[in-house]
Amino acid sequence: MEQATAGTGVQVTKTADNRLKINVPADAGFATGSAQLNGNLYPVLNQLASGLVQNPTESVQILGYTDSTGSDAINYPLSENRALSVKNYLVSRGVQPQRIATQGMGPQNPVASNNTAQGRAMNRRVEIFVASGQ
């Protein structure tokens, strides 16, 4: 996964509950105000999809986020549509759709201050969590 994420801004970590967390900055994964995936994200998602196909008991949760600028009427659908774009791409690569849950979080749970451009950029993201099956 390290090679696929090189130069993309995508960060891969483990959570305290041992899930794989893939953080996709929206600026790296999507055009501004759009839910259409940027091609530079495909290698990351291809590798993720390959791993999921090989491990059919793993489940995926995809959360989309925005910054706090704009209205909820725009931010929530945009965040949901970005999460759905990631899901649809994974499904197109052979991952069963019932294994993937998506949710648009809008401006909830910011990871940085929305008072600066840098902070807002950090808050615009998609988080992908992969959990091992029971």
The full DSSP string for the chain is -HHHHTTT--EEEE-TTS-EEEEEEHHHHB-TT--SBPGGGHHHHHHHHHHHHH-TT-EEEEEEE--SSS-HHHHHHHHHHHHHHHHHHHHHTT--GGGEEEEE-TT-S-SS-TTSHHHHHHHSEEEEEEE---
Q: Identify the pLDDT of residue 2.
A: 61
* pLDDT of the residue at 75: 96
pTM for the whole structure:
0.92
| Contact (Cβ atoms closer than 8 angstroms) between residue 11 and residue 2 | no
Tell me how many domains the chain contains.
Answer: 1
Task: Return the top range by mean pLDDT from 1-15, 25-39, 96-110.
Answer: 96-110
Q: Which domain holds residue 26?
A: 2-131
Q: In which band, very low, low, confident or very high, does the pLDDT at 129 lie, cut at 50, 70 and 90?
A: very high
Distance CA 70, CA 68 (A): 6
Percent of residues, the chain, with pLDDT higher than 70: 93
CATH classification of the domain holding 12: 3.30.1330.60
pLDDT of residue 10: 87
pLDDT digits (tens, 9 = 90+) for 99-109: 999 999 999 99
In this predicted structure, what is the pLDDT of residue 127? 97
Query: Does residue 3 surpass a pLDDT of 90?
Result: no
Distance CA 67, CA 133 (A): 32
The pLDDT score that the predictor gives to residue 40 is 87
